[in-house]
Chain A
């Protein structure tokens, strides 16, 4: 009998953003995430109340799942950002901070919610189209002829994760390895659609980071050391491989739903084992030298195969099966009774034993060109290692994204300040145009006004459906939010500045006074512009005369030091603004308390 319990009515919150408790929680979240942002960000330790594992991290992909809250709006933002991170692996903190700041700025501006939403949406469109323009001042086109930019891009990803505890040399080493591994997965001579290969990451604890390496082929962990001794004796090239995807533990194969009754004296186990041995005999006759099984292999079979000089690897798991088929060219076998066709066998060029710390591994070298490689990541302890492994995978993802869109954005906060200056300038241009039109209309009646710009102005205001002053307020909030994300990179009490020619982001250390400011500023955040005599600076979030931010001079000798993934950052920007708009649009919260 089912239990009947009366449903309790839901808990309702009217206008959640007017509630001070909700606002405090959002502010707390913002401050927490801000303090993690960037290469000098502070780390957070996450541990649960039942004495579980302690995680030290500053990455959004680890931090955000831990920050679940009873406040629905916080969870809404969290899940949106996490979805972005799971698709793009980068710029999660950027999106979260921007989103929370936009919400706060919209509240401060006192505009009607719908107006802020429309202005934000309009400015987002302006930003995305500017970023995709040919002459965008903060985009760098990646040159695949040199690995320089790729390494910079990867280094920015790795270096912005302080929980990895990497020295500068180590970060550079890891980024070089990541780029090398990425390049190995791109097949060289396959016509038609290119399918990228796989990077298998193996973590080794207790070794210095500089011992990390990238190897072609695969490293497979071997559970027994008996077969390793055999390897030294066999050097015949190439070796024949069979991959087995079903269990060979001697269990009964599936015959259907019926019942099997075994009478005494019938030994089904030995019948099955006999069949398996028969099968192995065929394999040995076919001169297979390496026998790989995804699941468990019966010990008797292992012994039999080993006696006939076959190296056995079992329990490799489903994750390694795909790289193994790619590497060896074998097709997995799952049938026992049919003869294995010749093309189902694969080959490896050579086998050798590699030792990394406590792990002994078998190194499989591909016979033909293959796009599978192994990245061995070493670090001093477990937490740092798991963070570094995650970061390497993120770097791989970011590099893959460059294949779709071969460009990157300037890092170090320069993109944000540049965009803010660009928007301010464009909007100021609009409003001055309106004034000009009115002036001309009053004074000289028959003047030709550039109709295209006029159209743009009127379209903007009708699309946004608000007055000019409301529009300007909304724009100011948006620009301030962008700049405050750039300023969040600074954690040591320094000041954030922006120059008045390129609108890049500069950091002034805390102990420097304003008089000798100019000597202490050498490079901007991304390293593309350097200090020059007639450069002027202003503090971020102060009023400055609007100007058209000039793209930095493209001098081939100066390369940016910090780059961000273009695809990831563009999507992060879009997700941040859309999520902020969504939160601003929520007027009513209903919580089902059953």
Chain B
């Protein structure tokens, strides 16, 4: 028993390691005075159910809280709930059709009234009202009933098995509203309740005192917050508007603000701002991956329409795995990151780079450039330069690649670098860049779309919404290949087709156990990347925000609101 306790506390220490520093700053509520936050897109409402905008969802996360949030690793953390329901603790039913949440005891709204299961049930009714246009309805997809079992217990029943039942009441997009405040705001009347939408009563660390649409929000600490020592700040000014450059300057150069959100600026621009030494840019990574897609079908213009770039005509040389692998080995991903993204990027070999539980940590083989190894691989596979023109060939097929992407300064730099490396291993590359609106336009009549893929290799970035990669990985099943009879629509850009992959996808759809889901997802990711080199990931692109050097406790989170842990923020040093 003692051993178990010791082990448990060890686990807890590891889990709380990022918080350890914060623990040294415990004290009474409101001890650190004023906090200034700037978002260069201004919030226009504080009810996330009536707005799809990130700025509104994030601003409201200071006030409203869900039952549980995702942390910076994408793992679930209980907020208003006692614990995360799973199949093993009985919270999720064996047949995956229902989930039962239990609220913490003694929770109070900021007006002093208790939080009950009726509020949770009301929130579901509010969003699922057929007359209302709820912006977060997709979170409630498949929900049949939401019922209160007792004052603190809520049961959500789905119409079918749901391997990922954490849609409703999870994350900043689906917080709990107070039933009494919004009781008269159901359905079509929802947008008319201006007072409630601009000043919701919540359980979060702060309370709205003044809301000026598309401008400024003034907040004070919530007296009824469940942790008596939090938040450390007594008042918050949340300023909206301007542009990313101005927001970056106000935190990194002049120090007028403590926190700036989403600085979409070139790496050298952010770096030159940070030289002022007032603030620190921080970055976190989601699932956006810049990758090369290898065409497994023949895009040669000599083939007739309907056969060109379809499964009927396999690619003359990219169908050889050795060639694909050699092309990947020749790339120096560190240099690509340095040139294109700086702090907002990191080299990756994974299609699913996060959340951590789904990331294939073993897959790091591509991170080191190996020109000699690539040459040897091609030699071994029979691709040699026999006629002395600098380009390798085999059976009369020369390694000449048409490499296309959208028009974008960073992408053209990448093209130039990759062309050079491929030239070193004896592969000739012709570059093409296409206007982004055409390339991503999806027009079935245009030969230049990324789905049509009339090229050998193409480069773009893609990501998935939320933390579960199931839908993302199912894009690469055989039947999703774009072809003439699907009007060239479909997400399986490479025309990858492996029955084993499809079978594994079916298994993923029927598995609820987290560890098992992770294992299958990682295996699927590896099949596409390191095992077959069908997809050659290059850079994991992240988000950059900035905080003042005097602001402590900031943990940038791309899976939930960036302000998810604002209750834990504190002031460093004596300048209180």
Chain A bound to chain B? no
